[in-house]
Every structure is written in structure tokens, then in C-alpha cells.
Structure 1
Amino acid sequence: MSHAQLLISYGQAFVAPDRRLHRSSMSVRFPEAPLLRAKGGCAVISDSISRNTMAKQAGDISVRGFLADYFSTPDHWDVKTSATRVLRALNSWCYSQSQHVKEGSFVSSMSAMVFRGREAHLFHMGDTLVFRLRGAEFEQLSRDHVTDLGGYRYPSRALGMDGSVDIDYTHIALKQGDLFLFTTQGVRGTLLPSDYVRLIRQDASDLDAACERLANEAKQRAQERGYGGDQFCFQLVRIDELPEEVTEHPGQLYGDLPIPPELAPGERLDGLEILAVLSRTAQSRVYRVRDVHSEREMVMKAPSPELSLRNAYLEHFLLQQWVVERVNSPFVVKVMEPSRPRRYLYYLMQHIEGETLRQWAERHPQASLTQRLDIANQLGKAVQALHHREIIHQQINPDNILIDPHGKLVLTDFSACHMRDGEGHRHSGELLRQIGFNEHTAPEYALGDSIGRRSDQYSLASTTYWLLTGALPYTLTPNRLRSHTDLEELTYRSARTTNPEISPELDDALRRALDPQRALRFRRMSEFLHALRVPLGRLPNREESRQEPRRFWQGVAGILLLLLVLSWLLR
């Protein structure tokens, strides 16, 4: 009989008086083919280091986040690339969220095993435990990263503990009948290796029952030793069948999908009729298309036909769709699913009826400051939505922003987007250099310096400055810089000289967000956006706010004094 695909069984058991307060979380997901063949299946366990109400949330977020994002990574990524990118992005998100909570944190130990074909890939951080039972051999596959403090063992490496994370990676050949056990550090000191083997082998046909036996025995041993046994969890995964050995040819680096040829209006591709050519650049082609079956209009983006050998850009092209799919914001364009399988390399986005911000500004020269600030606010929300998912846009400018007939803004074009993964961001500027700088590009790109969220802050502020004044903040555009000494030539031109309606406070906020030195800009984007959200950009005058209550009570005191004098005179 031919084993067409990998087959597994699994079981789970928790020991907890209240499952909602359990610090651990675990899950197994084995999708249907063809996703199973492309990405494999996953078994994950996490254990929060917190001991409060946030602990359960931290454990659940790490497990759900990994499973959701891993299976949506591009098919051409191998297992190690996919899992590592997802874990680094998840680590950055957990770490940033932990900075904003007063009690507890989003820090958790985590082990994720991906089963694909005849191999397993283990990714591990912290002190969660993964064992393999093969025959009578019981072996720990994970390493304990712990520190002893005052008799307690704490993880010395975990998800969300630091801005960057060191991930243990182990590659394992599978055999039919292999059993993998996932549990947490709390089980230490309760069961011996012989206990695990005995309790699992007692009846391995029912893995849920086997996990229950492990949980009950561990709880009993813990109580005999005089410590709590209410935080145990066990997960067993058994390899029931393996696919036949297949010698996979690497094929093209990006799968077997060819780059679409040059297309013209009226032509069709995968059931999509080309309605118009929206853009032709050295890197890509953008078309407005209509699905001939659903009549739905969309935008198709494909690599330029002459880029067939430029694999660095093609790899990033496939990353774009995955990046945009992770963002859920009304101010960021959405990726659309095709109604039939793709035979060419492209992705689809929603079609926005509207015009670019540059076109809007040309057609509305008399637009009020309030209208322009409203658009700037919407753009700020779009950029924040990207940053919340650890994505840097890198190309914010008036030509990548659409305004619909109702005045709603949508940020588009992710040709240069970069995913922050804790490994530094200097290399990401190379892609933007290949695509091309513009007058709103932050100075650090031209100088080859490290980039980050504050680089997007500069582009947002520069675009806002242009929207409010119709001019640029510097005589020498930053994209023309050649050395760090050229930074001295960047002298900020007050926005109020062009548009007197702009308040001094808003002008100061623009000046700071546009500082040539990245470190001197606002530390958080929200600080800059606060200035844009105040009506007409007017921040409250602190001296006036202090004077108002003083004047009120002075008035009250004056009236009381007048009444006192009148009562004395009338006596």
C-alpha cells in the first residue's frame, strides 16, 4: 500500500483546578492536503513565566500566534525559514507588548515541532520539555535554558524576554511508531524515565488516556513530596504512517510558478481579464483586473518579466503578500484570494476607486487645514497598524497613498516593506536602494545607516509637511546625501512660513519628527500622532490652562467680597 501522506495521532491532558488560570497552553494542527504537503503539521507547547491572570493569555497568544502565522507563510519558504521568521516576529511583538503592562508579561517558554514528510523540525526556547519515545528508548530532545535563583528555576531564554531571541533548532529523521511527549518544567522531580515508558506503553492505543495516566501519576507524586500538583499538562504525538521516500527536485527557487508575460487590456490570465495597466516599473507590473466568474474587480501585482534571474527581489515579492495578510486595518489595502489556483506568480489586492494623494492635492488646492490633518491622521493609523505587526513600510510618499471619493485613505504598495525580526535592519535598506529613493525617504537610507520605525516616522512627517504646505522641509532632499557631513546642510524650513494656519506646536512636532538624526526623533510614533490629532494641531497652552481656574476663583472671591461689603453697608 502506498503511503500518500504523513498520518499522526495525538492526545492531551491538563491537571488544573481551573483550566482558565493554567499557565500552559498546547495545541496540535495537521491540515489537509495540499497544505500538509507544503507546510507539514505542528505540535506546540508553551509555559508562561508569570503567575498571575496574564499568564494564561501569554501562553495562548504564543501558541495561537505561531500556528496562525506559520501556515500562512509563503509556500516556497522551507520549514526552518518559515518557523524562524514567525517566531522572531512573534518574539518582537510579545517583547514590545510587555513594555506597556505593569504586572506580568508576555514572556513564555515554547517548543514547536513541525512534522513534514519523513522529518521533524524542533524549535525551542526556554524550559518546556520535549521527549521522544522510540521502542524502549526515552530521550529528551529539548535543552533546559534555566537559571537557579533562591531555590527557584527560571527560564534564562524565552519568547518575549528580549528584543531578539536565540532559537534552538533540531532536525530529526522520523520512524513509524515514534512517540513525542510535550510537557512543562513543573513535572521535574515527579516522574522518572521508566515511569514515562511504563505509563505510555501500558496502553498506547488511546493517547488521551495515556496523557491522563501521566497527569494523575505526576500529581500524586507531587502531593507525596508536599508541593502543588495543579499545573501539569501532557501532549503526546504518535507517527502512524510516513509518506514514501520521494526525491524532490528543487525546481525553481520560487516553486513552479512562472512570471507572467507582459499583459495588455483585453487579455486573460487564470480567469482574470486585464482591464488596465496601472503601473510598469523595472521591478513589477500592476494591473486592474476583473474575475470573469465573480465579476469582482481587483488589482494584480506581478514581477516584471525581465526579473526572472533576480532572485533577491523575487523572494521579497512573495514576502509582500504574506506581510500584508498579517495586517488588519481599514487604512491598509487588503490581499484578495483568487477564485481558482494560480498558474503564474502574482498576488491580488482589493481595488480602491480613487486617486493618489498627489492627485487629490492637485485637485483640492483650497482644502482646509482640518481636511488635510484628517488625511494625515488616517495615514498615521495605517503606519501604526503596520508597526504593530513589526512591519516597516519604507516607502511612504504621496504616490503610494489612495484617497477614495469619501475621503478615506488607504496605504498601498509594499514593494519595499521589511519585517523586523530582531536581527538588525541595516540590510533592509539595500532593497529600497534597488527600488529607488524619493524626496520623502529618511536620510539614514542614503547614508547606509541602521533603519527602524523612526525611519517611517520621518517619511510620514515629510508627507504630512508636504500635504500641509505643498513644499518640502529641506532645500537639499535627504535622498541626495552623500556623507554624514551633508547632514549639516539639512536646515529645517518652518512650515508656518508657507502656511501660517499651522500652529507653532504642530510646527515643532513636525520639526522633531523630521530631525536628520534618527535618534532625536520622537521615541514613539504615538507622540507625533498626538500632535496631529489635536484639532488644527493646537496643543493646550499650559500657562493658559493654569490661569483659567485661578481666574474663576478670583471671580468668586470678588463676588463674595462685594456681597460682604453690601451686607455691611445695609446694616
Structure 2
Amino acid sequence: MTQQLKVELGQYSHQGRKVINQDFYAASIPQNYVLQHKGIACALSDGISSSNVSHIASQMAVTGLLADYFSTPETWTVKTSVQRVLTAVNSWLYAQTQQSQYRFDKDRGYVCTLSALVMKGHIVHLFHIGDSRIYRLQSGQLEQLSTDHRVWLSSQESYLSRALGVNPKVDIDYQSYVLYENDIFILMTDGVYEYCSSEKLTQFLTQTHTSLDLIAQQIVEYAYQQGSIDNLTIQIVKVQELPQVGAHEIVPDYTQLAFVPSLNVPTQFDGYQIVREIHNSNRSVLYLAHEIDQQQLLVIKVPATDVQQDPYLTEQFLFEEWIANRIHHPHVLAAYVQLRPRNYIYHTMEYIEGVTLKQWITDQQQLVPLDKVRQIIEQIAKGLQAIHRLEMIHQDIRPENIMIDHLGTVKIIDFGACRVAGIREMTKDVEEVALGTMAYMAPEYFLSESVTASSDQYSLGVLAYYLLSADLPYQTNIAKCKSKKDFRKLQYRSLSYYREDVPLWVDKALERAVQIRADHRYDDVAEFVYDLIYPNPKFLTLKRKSWVDRDPVMFWKAISSLLFLLLLGGVALVSHFNTIHF
């Protein structure tokens, strides 16, 4: 069995010299698939002594985090998942205070601190708000990783500058570190760390042949003996084994499946009957098939021969199906649900009775009307938003990867180049590979810069431009760029070169969407689509540039050519008159 993340956990809490224990702690160590995709999580919370209900806040914060985190999509990063959950927890705590008799005295309301960690793959993610602490013991060196959110007014007086439940919005500290075997992470409330020095803590933690549960209890008892007057809670997590991470660890186990044999009409296998071949490429072969039991048409995608001979490419083929099963949107190709066991490696997808956008453009035999372009781009943008909400980037938006049916409904297809944030964060070293088609790829792919949803927006902008002009906004000049300086020199070519029926404000919207610098583009594809449909006031005040301003080189070449022709004409005329005179 593949090696998975393995830890040893030690926890202990005591009310100390207080009447009740307002601290709360918990940990979750799932197994198998959930462990791979969501990792191990633990958290502790400390209520504030001025509140009689803060123990409720502490329990809600910890249990809410651990319950809801494991319900978030596997495609999300740990950071996104935890921050979304804690935002909801904070809102609930704040609302409870606002609806209680403590709404005018927040220090007596549903308020608490929180420190949490999630170990996923080879990375540990830390989240912190308040004055609990997170430490790491690595190679015998103890280091405090969290920052106390406590402001000291004097040696005797202080207050929490940040905590859960205090305000409608919450700011949570986040950090991530690479995991190494034998790393030890410690979460503690102030009732422990204020009465146990770093030296003493290290001494406890470096004991051999002692369980972490016992060590946790020893540390709490020591802090109590040193005079701690608060509740005392500690969690200790030691990394024992790091997991193996690869595509074959992410997708379900297909090692027992065979590759699909040669398929011909009317071959039957796994309950399907082949109708005809739809498409054949170096990556895959698509077949239109008929599900015999359900009397339903569908598409079967089979890995090409070259893919079958490469384990990595086979894993990527399987991963594509994993992605498709997690996107549910009317403008994204849907996976066809299989209700029976399979014996071979293949995908099943919904059948769209239509053509690719590339074929559709060819069939038009003319430039596409602006209104039709808007309809197409708006549908693609909605599909992209669904993909982006799952923290995925399609990375290969182009005419060949868009289907359009006879009703004009548009769907995004092919997830072979898709980037999934929640998967990429599993390892400490992730190689950036430029995928997709060069003509539609954003400059950041070539400049080794961060690839974001804005990169898909760039591709969508290029596609819109192509639909309107049958050309590319920077022609083929991107392929000639070798450095960031070369990219900065590129000039957007106005649509007015190709057609005069497209308003200037539409041209400007396209120009912004395909900016070389990602931070100069729209913040979201929805803004781009809105500016394609409704005039942006910023663009209405602009005027079309004259020919000399738009392309001075071409202008002066034309003038030079005209002057040369006039000169030739003049010479010919003079020669003619000289001949007559002679």
C-alpha cells in the first residue's frame, strides 16, 4: 500500500485553578482518500475570562472548523477552505453576541482565540488569531511560529487586539511550511506557555520512549505547579512518515484495469456499443457510443497508444476524469455517470450534438457578428467562473476546446491541461509546465510568473478578438518574444484594422482583457463580459486614433510608396514630353 502521512498525536487539557475549563481542543486524522486530499487537522481555542459564554465560543470554533473543513471541495487549497470556514464561524459567533445581552459589551460575549494546523501532503498550514501559540521543534531547535495578538498597556494590563467573534469580519494569520520527518508542532494556550520556559518545553519534548499524550500531561502539570492561574491546554503533533504524492495517489486505483482493446463498429464492451469514431488525436480517441441498458448516447474517451505506453500520461488521463466529475455547470462538459463497474481505462462524457467552435467559425465563412460573439463569450465566461470557483484554471481555452450545439449553447471541454490548486499544494516542489496552445496562452506562462484565473481571462479575450477579426491581438509576435522586455514592447492591434462596425468601447474592453501584464487586466471575467455588452464610461470619452497614431511605421511606408509611385509617374511623363519634342 502506498505510504501515507503518518503522525503521532498527544493532547491534554485541564481547568487548572479555575472553576470551569473555557479551553477546547480536538483533532481529526482521517484515513485513505480523505487523508490524501484533505490531510490531518487539529485546533485549540481559548475562551476569555471576562465572558461566561466563551467556553461555548471555544467549542463552536474548534468543532465547526474540523467538521466543515473536511466538507469543502478537494479542489480548494487548505488556505481557502479554512479561511472560508472560519469566516462563517466568526459570523456566527458575532451574531450570537449581537442577539444576546452582551451586544454592548463584547468582552462578555461569544469570543475566543484559535490556533489550528492542517498537514496535507508535504506541507503544514498554520492558522492563528489571538494569544494561543504555535511552536515547532525541528532538529532540537524550538521556534515560535505564531504572533501574539495581545497589546500590553503595562506589565499588569493588556487586551486582545484580535479574536474570533469580536467584529463582523476577521483577519486570520496564515503561514505554510515544508514538512520533514520528526518535526514536532505544539499548540498551547497562554495558561501553559507563560509558565513553561522554552528550555523546559524542549526538555519534555525530547524525551524518548514516552508517549506524546503523557508528555502533554507532564507539560500541563508542570505549568500548573509553576503557578498557572488559567486553563491549560496543549496539543503535540509529531510527523512520523511523509506521504508519496503523485497523480496515481490522487485518482482512484485503476491498476487492476486493462487498456481498451481496438474498438470498431459495432463493438460492445462494459455495457456500451460503439456507434462511430468522433475524433482521433495523439492524446486520445473519442467514440460516440450507446449505453445498452439506459438507451442513451454518450461519448467514450480512450487514451491513445502513445499515452498508454507512458505511465505519467496515463495518470494525467485519469486525472482529467477526476476533474470532470467535480464540475457541474450548464456551460461545462459534464461527465457521464457510470452506474456499473468498469473493466477498462476510459472516460464517459455527455454527448453534445454540435461542432467545435473552430469548425463553427469555418462554417460561417465571414466575420462573426458582434451580438453573436457576445453570446458565445458570455457563456464561456460563465463556465470559466464555475471552474475558477473551484480554484481550478482551465489553461487551454481555444476554439478547439469549445463546443456549440444547434441551439447555440456553448460548453467548455477538455480538462487535460487543468491546474487544480488543492492538488498542486500537496508537494513542496511543483514544476511549472506551460500547457495549452501558444497563440492563446497568457504571457505569464512564458515569463515564469504566477498563473491565475486572469490567465484564462487573457485566453478568453484572445478568443473574442479572433471571433471578431479572424486574427490575433498581437499577431504571431508573442512567439518571437524571448524576455520580459520583448513582451513589454508588444502593441495591441486595434479591431478597427479589420472592421468599422465594432464600437471603440468594445475594442478597449478587449484590449484590457489581453493586457500583457496580468495586473492590468480585469479582476474577473464577469467584468470583461459586462464591458463587452455595456459601454464602460471610461472608454466612451476616447476617440479612435488616426492611422498615423495607430501604426506610424505602416503609415510612412504607405506615404513613401505613394511618393515613389508619383515620382515614377513624373519621370514617365517628362520622358513622354521629351519624346514628343524630339
Q: How far off is 1:371 after superposition?
A: 2.7
- 2:79 is the counterpart of 1:91: yes
- 2:177 is the counterpart of 1:166: yes
- Structure 1's unaligned 5+ residue stretches are 1-12, 16-21, 74-85, 115-119, 131-141, 173-181, 193-213, 235-249, 545-571
Q: Which structure has the greater CA radius of gyration?
A: 2
Q: How far off is 1:458 after superposition?
A: 1.6
Quote the Cα distance in structure 1 between the aligned partners of 2:172 and 2:258.
39
What are the superposed Cα offsets for residues 393-430 of structure 1, whole Å, 9 maximum, x if unpaired?
11100110112333222111011111234689983334
Q: How far off is 1:540 after superposition?
A: 3.3
Q: Contact 1:393–1:414 (CA<8 Å) still a contact in 2?
A: yes
Query: What corresponds to 1:518 in structure 2?
Result: 517
TM-score, normalised on structure 1? Answer: 0.58
Q: How far off is 1:146 after superposition?
A: 2.9
Amino acid at match of 1:314: T
Which runs of structure 2 are paired with 1:176-215 in the superposition (5 Å)?
Answer: 185=189, 188=192
Q: How far off is 1:160 after superposition?
A: 7.3
Query: What corresponds to 2:377 in structure 1?
Result: 376
Quote the Cα distance in structure 1 between the aligned partners of 2:57 and 2:535.
38
Give the SS at the match of 2:338. Answer: coil
Quote the Cα distance in structure 2 between the aligned partners of 1:397 and 1:543.
30
- Structure 2's unaligned 5+ residue stretches are 1-12, 16-21, 49-53, 95-112, 135-141, 153-157, 163-170, 197-216, 236-248, 542-582
Q: Contact 2:133–2:190 (CA<8 Å) still a contact in 1?
A: no
Query: What corresponds to 1:357 in structure 2?
Result: 357
Question: 1:444 and 1:90, CA in 2 relative to 1: closer, same or farther beyond 3 A?
Answer: same
What are the superposed Cα offsets for residues 118-177 of structure 1, whole Å, 9 maximum, x if unpaired?
xx99966357999xxxxxxxxxxx99743345479999xxx9745x722546689xxxxx
Identity across the alignment (%): 23
Query: What corresponds to 1:539 in structure 2?
Result: 536
Quote the Cα distance in structure 2 between the aligned partners of 1:442 and 1:282.
24
Q: How far off is 1:367 after superposition?
A: 5.6
Q: How far off is 1:366 after superposition?
A: 7.6
Which runs of structure 2 are paired with 1:109-120 in the superposition (5 Å)?
Answer: 109-111=115-117
Query: What corresponds to 1:496 in structure 2?
Result: 496
Q: How far off is 1:351 after superposition?
A: 2.4
Question: 1:357 and 1:302, CA in 2 relative to 1: closer, same or farther beyond 3 A?
Answer: same
Quote the Cα distance in structure 2 between the aligned partners of 1:184 and 1:60.
17
Give the SS at the match of 2:288. Answer: strand
What are the superposed Cα offsets for residues 274-318 of structure 1, whole Å, 9 maximum, x if unpaired?
233232222222333332222333323332222234233233223
Give the SS at the match of 2:177. Answer: coil
Query: What corresponds to 2:314 in structure 1?
Result: 314
Quote the Cα distance in structure 1 between the aligned partners of 2:448 and 2:177.
26
- 2:70 is the counterpart of 1:67: yes
Query: What corresponds to 1:478 in structure 2?
Result: 478
Q: How far off is 1:39 after superposition?
A: 6.6
Between 252-261 and 323-332, report the one with greater CA deviation.
252-261
Quote the Cα distance in structure 2 between the aligned partners of 1:430 and 1:295.
41
Alignment length (residue pairs): 442
What are the superposed Cα offsets for residues 461-513 of structure 1, whole Å, 9 maximum, x if unpaired?
10011123332212325346455565377432112332333322221221122
Instruction: Kindly report the root-mean-square deviation, in angstroms, between the aligned alpha carbons of the 2 structures.
Output: 5.9
Query: What corresponds to 2:459 in structure 1?
Result: 459
- 2:524 is the counterpart of 1:530: no
Q: How far off is 1:372 after superposition?
A: 1.6
Q: Contact 1:401–1:409 (CA<8 Å) still a contact in 2?
A: yes
What are the superposed Cα offsets for residues 6-41 of structure 1, whole Å, 9 maximum, x if unpaired?
xxxxxxx9x9xxxxxx9989686878xx979x9799
Question: 1:499 and 1:339, CA in 2 relative to 1: closer, same or farther beyond 3 A?
Answer: same
Quote the Cα distance in structure 2 between the aligned partners of 1:90 and 1:64.
14
Question: 1:299 and 1:49, CA in 2 relative to 1: closer, same or farther beyond 3 A?
Answer: farther
Q: Contact 1:125–1:167 (CA<8 Å) still a contact in 2?
A: no
Question: 1:441 and 1:425, CA in 2 relative to 1: closer, same or farther beyond 3 A?
Answer: farther
Quote the Cα distance in structure 2 between the aligned partners of 1:507 and 1:97.
41
Query: What corresponds to 2:432 in structure 1?
Result: 428
Quote the Cα distance in structure 2 between the aligned partners of 1:278 and 1:330.
22
Amino acid at match of 1:280: N
